[in-house]
Amino acid sequence: MFTGIIEAVGTIAATELRGGDMRVQISSASLPMAEVKLGDSIASNGVCLTVVSILADGFWADVSNETLSLSTFAKAKVGQSVNLERAMLASSRLDGHIVSGHVDGVGSVLSCVADARSIRLAVEAPKSIEHYIASKGSICIDGVSLTVNKVNGNVLELNIVPHTAAETIIQHYRVGTEVNLEVDVVARYLERLLQAKKPADSGISMATLAENGFLKGRS
């Protein structure tokens, strides 16, 4: 598990195709590699990767076909910057929100404009996950825990404060930039629980929420 609070920005130093999937080398001068062990999980642009080899200034990890099919790692390029976060400790403060490192799909930046000292982003999400995204809810973009300001169909708007922009790769976003999206884990499990009660249901509606006691004063 992760928090969505980025520890360091790294660089993709190398990629290798291996047996149909990929192995990637990520370098970072600021990630404390002395504290990293083989088998540790490190979220890289929001993707939970397992360390298979440790270097003085980075690590190697395998990227499965499942991950390649759902994330921007399918188009990873040497020299590309990535957000990095080591897995949280049970004793850590949860400064962001609960992030699993399991990407749900790739979105695209529609607009990126200055708003006073902040950056205002509009991101188009895949339609298959739009029902998980709520105004003022949480979403993880390239590993960064963010609050959704507004939702219009499958387009979400976000405000990036100066500190977040400075400490992550968001400062380099441009129109057309593809980003990894992970929805709030609570929404995933809520939908699954409701579907288990009503197997014929295809998703969450106001009626199913009310019938299952999630809305007060409605039945």
> Domain end: 86, 118, 137, which one?
86
Confidence of residue 36 (pLDDT cuts 50, 70, 90): very high
Q: Is 123 found in the same domain as 69?
A: no
Query: Residue 68: which domain range?
Result: 8-86
Q: Is 147 found in the same domain as 109?
A: yes
More confident residue, 46 or 214: 46
Q: Is 167 found in the same domain as 112?
A: yes
Q: Is 171 found in the same domain as 130?
A: yes
Q: Is 44 found in the same domain as 71?
A: yes
208: pLDDT strictly greater than 80: no
Q: Is residue 61 part of a domain?
A: yes
Total domains present in the chain: 3
Residue 142 maps to which CATH number?
2.40.30.20
Q: Is residue 207 part of a domain?
A: yes
Q: Phi, psi at residue 96, to the nearest 5°?
A: -105, -110
Q: Is 180 found in the same domain as 191?
A: no
Dihedral angle over CA of 31, 158, 190, 143, nearest 10: -10
pTM summary value: 0.86
Q: Is 159 found in the same domain as 123?
A: yes
Name the burial class of residue 5, with classes exposed (0-12), middle (13-18) and buried (19+) by CB atoms within 10 angstroms of its CB.
buried
Q: Is 179 found in the same domain as 190?
A: no
> Domain end: 86, 118, 142, which one?
86
Q: Is residue 99 part of a domain?
A: no
3-state secondary structure of 2: strand
Give pLDDT tens digits for 127-160: 999 999 999 999 999 999 999 999 999 999 999 9
Of 46, 73, 58, the residue nearest 10 (C-alpha): 58
Instruction: List 48's β-bridge partners, or say none.
Output: 43
134-144 burial, b for 16+ CB within 10 Å, e for fewer?
A: eeebbbbbbbb
Largest CA distance in the chain: 60
